[in-house]
Structure 1
Amino acid sequence: MSIYQFGKRICLLFLSSSYKVEVIGRENIPEDGGVLLCCNHISNLDPPLLGSYLGRNVHYMAKKELFEKPILKWLLPKLHAFPIRRGMSDKQALRTAMTLLKNNEIVGLFPEGTRSKNGQLQKGLAGAGFFALRTNAAVIPSAIIGPYKFRGRLKLVYGEPIDFTELKEARGSAEEATSIIMAEIQNLINKHQ
């Protein structure tokens, strides 16, 4: 068993015993092909929650500073995380994500770029829209509806894939694509709150 699979089992055990997790829309995740999983960000526990309930592996961008800590530098790549420099264009991180999507992997992304301090959905960064327009990956909006309170209810919602055909044909911008993604995430939050 890989470290990723072992970590996933531990996370699933922890999450299932700590919270009453309701998973909605798991059938919206394609069984194969590239998938861009875009979700709101309210806690450090979001990445394990988003990926633990799926059969497929999920790769995440994580802030570069985490990879500077000795244990995490070794562990994070084994958990399918790769570094990104926040606040600037990081071409290496973009290339890594593009390659993963083209190789039919799932990339988990939090378009807000950082955790929301008040739990409200913040403006999304253009990176999510860039990947949506530059790859053929299925773009799945997702929502975590909390809060993370011990034994409290948590909803994890995977929405239906967003069709970007028209925006691609119109040569729309990454910002426009991100706005569509964020609107779909907000719709999921409104519908399932």
Structure 2
Amino acid sequence: MNTFYAICSKASFLYYKIFFKLELIGRENIDRNQNYIICGNHSSLHDPFLLGGVLPLQAHFMSKKENFKYKIVGWVLKKVWVFPVDRDGNDIKAIKTALTILNKKDNLALFPEGTRNKGVEPLPVKSGVALFAVRTKTPILPVTIDSNFKLFSRVRVIFHEPVVLEAYYNQKVASETLERLSQEIMDGIYKSIENVKLENL
């Protein structure tokens, strides 16, 4: 148990609980004895702080390397289990770090689109999520974050049922297939956003 992480997570949860109408759906889908690849949509700078606060387990977060350029910020990020990734290419070091985390049965959290998306349609994603899941035989926990993050507005977080890609374990899977599987997961995440918006019309 990372004490500093736990303190920051609790503080984050209290912030969103106090200043927003926080609604958590599907927490029963999370098995605390299981590790996951946690992936969600990314529309705001709030997303990683919110996710770190509402998850009932600790996770290593993947974040763009630019966030580590200031030493004090980089130090804090590392303290809360964040590690850098170069979004401009295939960052082998980040990939190896992610695989090591999952092989140790820790949790990995990432935003597969790699950048913020204000729309209700997913951006194209690479094979990462499915690749990590197949290589390490780890379930994927899709998460939908739905909010405009205006003070005292609703923040809805939906934890979907885990996705297990067991049919692809112990196989050599083509990158096109992995990309398709990753994209299908993101499509499901965004479908929930569309449904929420329709309910509010």
Q: One fold, TM greater than 0.5?
A: yes
Alignment match of 1:181 (pick from 169, 181, 185): 185
1:136 is matched with 137
Q: Deviations over 1:20-67 (max 9, x none)?
A: 010001111221232001100011110121121222101111111111
SS in 2 for 1:76: helix
Please report how far the alpha carbon of residue 120 of structure 1 lies from its aligned counterpart in structure 2 after TM superposition.
Answer: 3.9
Letter in 2 for 1:23: L
Tell me the distance in 2 between the aligned counterparts of 1:104 and 1:167. Answer: 19
SS in 2 for 1:75: helix
Cα separation, partners in 2 of 1:48 and 1:102, compared to 1, 3 Å: same
Letter in 1 for 2:189: I
- RMSD of aligned Cα (Å): 1.8
1:121 aligns with 2:122: yes
Q: Deviations over 1:125-157 (max 9, x none)?
A: 221121122121110111001111100001000
1:158 is matched with 159
Cα separation, partners in 2 of 1:11 and 1:164, compared to 1, 3 Å: same
Tell me the distance in 2 between the aligned counterparts of 1:134 and 1:69. Answer: 33
Please report how far the alpha carbon of residue 190 of structure 1 lies from its aligned counterpart in structure 2 after TM superposition.
Answer: 3.5
Q: Which runs of 5+ in 2 are unaligned?
A: none
**Does structure 1 conserve the Cα–Cα contact (< 8 Å) formed by 2:5 and 2:80?**
yes
Q: Deviations over 1:65-94 (max 9, x none)?
A: 111102112110101100111110111111
Q: Which runs of 5+ in 1 are unaligned?
A: none
1:171 aligns with 2:173: yes
Alignment of 1:1-193 (within 5 A): 2-118=3-119, 120-168=121-169, 171-172=173-174, 173-193=177-197
Please report how far the alpha carbon of residue 184 of structure 1 lies from its aligned counterpart in structure 2 after TM superposition.
Answer: 2.0
Cα separation, partners in 2 of 1:66 and 1:42, compared to 1, 3 Å: same
Cα separation, partners in 2 of 1:117 and 1:55, compared to 1, 3 Å: closer
Under a length normalisation based on structure 1, what TM-score does the superposition of the two structures give? 0.92
Cα separation, partners in 2 of 1:94 and 1:13, compared to 1, 3 Å: same
Under a length normalisation based on structure 2, what TM-score does the superposition of the two structures give? 0.88
Tell me the distance in 2 between the aligned counterparts of 1:190 and 1:166. Answer: 29
Tell me the distance in 1 between the aligned counterparts of 2:122 and 2:22. Answer: 20
